[in-house]
Amino acid sequence: MHPPIVHRLTLEHPQGRSELRIGDGALAALEELVPWVAGRMLFVLSTPRLDRLHGGALDPLRAAARQSVELSVEDGEGAKTLAHAGRLWQEMVVAGGKRDSRLVTFGGGTVSDLGGFVAGCFLRGISYAQVPTTLLAQVDAAIGGKTGIDLVAGKNTVGLFHHPDWVISDTRLLATLPLAERRSGLVEVVKMAVSLDLDLLLEVEAGLDRLLAAILAPVVAGAAAAKCAVVTADPSEGDHRRVLNFGHTLGHALEAALGFRHLRHGEAVAYGLLFALRLSRRCGLPATVAVRVRDLLRRLDLPPLPALDIGELLRLLQRDKKATEAGLVWVLLGDLGRPEFVALDLGQVTQELERFLADPFVDV
Amino acid sequence: MHPPIVHRLTLEHPQGRSELRIGDGALAALEELVPWVAGRMLFVLSTPRLDRLHGGALDPLRAAARQSVELSVEDGEGAKTLAHAGRLWQEMVVAGGKRDSRLVTFGGGTVSDLGGFVAGCFLRGISYAQVPTTLLAQVDAAIGGKTGIDLVAGKNTVGLFHHPDWVISDTRLLATLPLAERRSGLVEVVKMAVSLDLDLLLEVEAGLDRLLAAILAPVVAGAAAAKCAVVTADPSEGDHRRVLNFGHTLGHALEAALGFRHLRHGEAVAYGLLFALRLSRRCGLPATVAVRVRDLLRRLDLPPLPALDIGELLRLLQRDKKATEAGLVWVLLGDLGRPEFVALDLGQVTQELERFLADPFVDV
């Protein structure tokens, strides 16, 4: 194993600052968190699977705390419910958690989202750290303070902005990820590269095969930095931060229409990006750019898009939680590195959606 | 009915500012909220009882909104559960609520606390207004952004800081309150007067009989202003804001030990104040001050303190959510207008608590 190469980033936000440590061997930076947990009760939220795979990774923190208490949820989006949050809060009260207790999440996007929400509402908010273990969580979910759970009526419909004090992303943990998980996470990297960071795009294009094989440290740090820049500019998703929603408008609708089965989040977002490219083309995006991004996405070898009901998709699009009373605004691409907000009428979208469902990769 | 006398206060806080309108006829100020709801979906959270008593009070807002949706919970602390919050969120998603939708609470402390929490976590936070209808909510619960619900394991253990854009406190609504409710609310006024505002104390001492008979406008505005000053100085209850916890340390434990029956919140806080006076005396509070405050509390003609198990009370005190890992810190009184934070060891507290339970009004 080569020696740790750890990138350090600081994200300033209205609640203070988050310190990020990213790279192969970043877990060594847990040492920096010792004063943060010393003398306090520490809650560790993880899953049985991660506990088996990397259970000892957080031992230095447990040893530094006055007392540590394990909290556990099963893997998968099914854990992001109010019932699980309620159970965890109950366990934390009974264990004697106080306002100056700490919580650390150790898991993927589900654990990040749920754990951030649980920390944000426990006794009106306790400090927490994210130790994300999936590519998706390392480049996206664990950064930026968005937390949430799902209702039957919609994903991430309940939550709050609650920034972690620390984000420790050790890219060595990604070695145990299945290929499909890495691919899903890379879609978010592509999203940020295309809309925000052309150097990152070149890096992804040049190294995709290597990246799929898990040598991920450089692009994780690059994507995290791109996300930090956006979050700093707009911490509570007033406006600008919605550029991160590039590909997610249709992506979320696809996931919901499929009952959150068949496609992973990143895979759905990849199709969402393809659809956004198509809409962007109609609004003037040069064909060369659209084709370039499409070809990159094609190299990810996505699972095929299952059959979908267009009426259901349109209904779900209109329920998008980022919709305002004024209607649905899309994040499109004016050019590489130049995302734009465009309001489109339902007629245009319907027409393009029909063609897209017939073949997502043509007409881009 | 005399013409409206409406006090205007502005509370600056890290999330922005809350505008307060307080007094006889303050509902007229709802007119100022018209631009705030215009063109948007409006959720109104209230109770069937309030709907019968004052159902039309918010009609000007409903008329100004693009669409209004009624949300309802039963009266009483039983409504402050995760299950109710979950049901309300579900109703809001299904109704088509968006991030720029608005919520207005219309009710007592329970509705304020629950409604603020529901607004704070819906789609990661929507703007809301409080229209409190009880004295307790007008002087305390609706001001300062503290929101929360109860778990089986503890009251207000889940929540967040989410400030309302508006607080509209019409003291005419208090005319329909039972005497016991007015008395309970007046305890919070006494708490703030004694620890923060001597003019307010003189006003309460001189006018207590009138206040119990419901002429409440002047002290509501005074108490609200005192609370605003504290919240401005310490919006997220880091330290100074805990002066508002004066009387609440034992008060909360009494409520919990009694299963939230037998004593209203304010009544429990009144006993908590008596106990805090007793501890303050041991730390040097002049007897004249302690006796003066005790005599004022005695005039409220509190229901007697039920029999209580001292071991249970001590256990509950140690679980106080404002306890830190370092132990329990009490808000005591050094003198009128001079609250102090004092850490006391459990032995001292136990001894005083035994005497207090025997007769809460002696030895102060």
Nearest one of B136, B153, B342 to B246, comparing CA atoms: B342
Quote the pLDDT of residue B235: 78
The answer to whether A157 contacts B82, with C-beta atoms less than 8 Å apart, is: no
Q: Inter-axis angle of helices A287-298 and A198-212, to 10 degrees?
A: 20
CA distance A125 to A100: 9
- CA–CA distance from A210 to each of A2, A22, A183, A197, B281 (Å)? 17, 18, 12, 20, 73
Distance from CA of A24 to the nearest CA of B (A): 33
State the pLDDT confidence band at B347, using cuts at 50, 70 and 90. Answer: confident
A252 included as an active-site residue = yes
Q: Is residue B2 predicted with pLDDT exceeding 60?
A: no
The predicted-structure confidence for A50-64, as pLDDT tens digits, reads as follows 999 998 999 999 999
CA distance B165 to B230: 18
State the pLDDT confidence band at A327, using cuts at 50, 70 and 90. Answer: low
Q: Is residue B3 predicted with pLDDT exceeding 70?
A: no
Quote the pLDDT of residue B198: 93
Q: Which of A94, A124, A237, A241 to probe by mutation at the B interface, max B CB count within 10 Å?
A: A124
The predicted-structure confidence for A282-318, as pLDDT tens digits, reads as follows 999 999 999 999 999 999 999 999 999 999 999 999 8
Q: Is residue A31 predicted with pLDDT exceeding 90?
A: yes
Of B98, B158, B319, the CB nearest to A121: B158
Q: Is residue A325 predicted with pLDDT exceeding 90?
A: no
Q: Is residue B323 predicted with pLDDT exceeding 70?
A: no
pTM over 0.90: yes
State the pLDDT confidence band at B164, using cuts at 50, 70 and 90. Answer: very high
B2 included as an active-site residue = no
- φ and ψ at residue B182, rounded to 5 degrees: -65, -40
The answer to whether B159 contacts A100, with C-beta atoms less than 8 Å apart, is: no
Average pLDDT over residues A107-133: 97
The answer to whether B324 contacts A99, with C-beta atoms less than 8 Å apart, is: yes
A298 included as an active-site residue = no
Q: Inter-axis angle of helices B287-298 and B179-196, to 10 degrees?
A: 160
Identify the H or E element spanning A224.
Answer: helix A217-233
Q: Between residues A113 and A322, which one has the greater pLDDT?
A: A113
CA distance A347 to A216: 41
**Residues with Cβ within 8 Å of residue B193, at least 6 apart in sequence:** B200, B201, B203, B204, B222, B223, B226
For the record, the structure tokens of A294 come out as 């499409």
State the pLDDT confidence band at A321, using cuts at 50, 70 and 90. Answer: low
Contacts of B99 in chain A (CB under 8 A): 321-322, 324
Q: Is residue A4 predicted with pLDDT exceeding 70?
A: no
Are B260 and B77 a contacting pair, CB within 8 Å? yes
Q: Which of A40, A158, A318 to probe by mutation at the B interface, max B CB count within 10 Å?
A: A158
Q: Is residue A261 predicted with pLDDT exceeding 60?
A: yes
Dihedral over Cα of A115, A117, A118, A119: its sign: positive
Residue identified by tokens 């979950």 is: B86
SS (H, E, C) chain B: CCCCCCEEEEEEECCEEEEEEEECCHHHHHHHHHHHHECCEEEEEECHHHHHHHHHHHHHHHHHECEEEEEECCCCHHHCCHHHHHHHHHHHHHHCCCCCCEEEEEECHHHHHHHHHHHHHECCCCEEEEEECCHHHHHHHCCCCECCEEECCEEEEECCECCCCEEEEEHHHHHHCCHHHHHHHHHHHHHHHHHHCHHHHHHHHHHHHHHHCCCCHHHHHHHHHHHHHHHHHCCCCCCHHHHHHCCHHHHHHHHHHCCCCCCCHHHHHHHHHHHHHHHHHHCCCCHHHHHHHHHHHHCCCCCCCCCCCHHHHHHHHHCCCCCECCECEEEEEEECCEEEEEECCHHHHHHHHHHHHHCCCCCC
B156 included as an active-site residue = no
Interface of B with A (CB under 8 A): 14, 39-41, 66, 82, 85-86, 89-90, 93-94, 96, 98-101, 117, 120-125, 146-148, 151-154, 157-161, 236-237, 319, 321-326
Average pLDDT over residues A130-153: 94
For the record, the structure tokens of B94 come out as 């299904």
The predicted-structure confidence for B232-280, as pLDDT tens digits, reads as follows 988 777 788 889 999 999 999 999 899 888 999 999 999 999 999 999 9
Mean pLDDT of chain B: 93
For the record, the structure tokens of A218 come out as 């450089």
ipTM of model:
0.90
Quote the pLDDT of residue B327: 66
Average pLDDT over residues A98-125: 97
For the record, the structure tokens of B245 come out as 């916890």
Q: Is residue B224 predicted with pLDDT exceeding 90?
A: yes
The answer to whether A157 contacts B323, with C-beta atoms less than 8 Å apart, is: no
Average pLDDT over residues A9-18: 91
Candidate list B7, B155, B162, B241, residue with the active-site label: B241
Nearest one of B262, B98, B50, B355 to A328, comparing CA atoms: B98
Residue identified by tokens 């003291």 is: B171
Least confident of A188-197, B211-220, B258-267, B297-306: B211-220
Average pLDDT over residues A166-189: 93
Mean pLDDT of chain A: 93
Distance from CA of B275 to the nearest CA of A (A): 24
Helices assigned H by DSSP within A234-284: 248-257, 265-282
Candidate list A70, A181, A237, A352, residue with the active-site label: A237
Average pLDDT over residues A328-353: 92
Q: Is residue A236 predicted with pLDDT exceeding 80?
A: no
